[in-house]
Amino acid sequence: MAPPASVLLLLAPLASALPTPNNFCNDYSFTYTIVKGEWMEHCCHYMQPGNHISYAVEFTPRHADEVILLKFVADDSGSTGHCAGSKYGPKDWKTFDPRSYTGHDNTYVEKKSITTSGAKFKLLQMGIRFTCHSPGEGNACLVTVDRMKVCEGDGCQFNSLDNRTAIAGLTSGSDAA
C-alpha cells in the first residue's frame, strides 16, 4: 500500500511573555486512526537552539493497539514549514527513546527534557510521532491524544493555558521502504 499523502497544518509558535520554558507548541483533544506500519506526527517549528527542548504528551491507545511513540529533533534552518520525515521536510537530526505502549484504554503521560547541545543549526523543530505497530482490532490503531506540548527549555508542563488554539505541524507517512 502506498503511503498516504502528507498533510500539513502549520501555525507559528506562540510569542508571549509566559515564564520559561517558552515558545511552546500546544495541541489537544484529537484522535488518530493509523494503519499498521504508518505514522502520524506533530511537530513544533522555528525553535531556537539551546541546551534543552522539553515535551509533555498525554495519550490513550484504544482496544489492544500497540503504538510506538518516537521523539525527534531536526534542523529547521531551511524554514520549509514541513515536518521532518515528510516529502519536503528536513531529515531527523536525532531521535530519542522510542517507546512501545499497549492500549486497553490505558492513559499514558510522558514528559522529558532532551539535550540539544551540539546542534549547529539556526532553528530546530521537534516532532512527536505515533506509529501503529500492532492493531488490536482490524488493520489500524486508534490513538486519542488528550494534550501535547513542546517547549524551549527544561520542564515542559501542562497548565490552564494548554487548551488554547492548536499550534503545531501535522504530517503522516509510512516506515515502509
- Residue 20 resides in a domain: no
pLDDT band at 87 (very low <50, low <70, confident <90, very high): confident
**Domain encompassing residue 56:** 28-157
Least confident of 14-23, 104-113, 161-170: 14-23
- From CA 149, how far away is CA 46, in angstroms rounded? 15
Higher pLDDT, 141 or 25: 141
The one-character DSSP state at 116 is: -
Question: What one-character-per-residue DSSP string does 127-170 give?
Answer: EEEEEEEE-SSTTEEEEEEEEEEEEESS-----GGGGSS-B-EE
- Residue 70 resides in a domain: yes
- Residue 13 resides in a domain: no
Mean pLDDT, range 114-126, rounded to an integer:
83
Dihedral in degrees, nearest 10, Cα atoms 81, 84, 90, 93: 130
Mean pLDDT, range 67-75, rounded to an integer:
92
Calculate what percentage of the chain has a pLDDT beyond 90: 36
- Residue 167 resides in a domain: no
- pLDDT for the residue numbered 35: 97
**Number of folded domains that form the chain:** 1
pLDDT digits (tens, 9 = 90+) for 10-66: 333 333 333 345 657 888 889 999 999 999 988 898 888 877 889 999 999 998 999
- Residue 59 resides in a domain: yes
Residue 71, H or E segment: strand 66-75
- Residue 170 resides in a domain: no
The chain-wide mean pLDDT, for the chain, equals 79
**CATH assignment at residue 37:** 2.60.120.680
| 8 A C-beta contact, residue 55 and residue 129 | no
What is the value of pTM for the model shown?
0.77
| 8 A C-beta contact, residue 78 and residue 147 | no
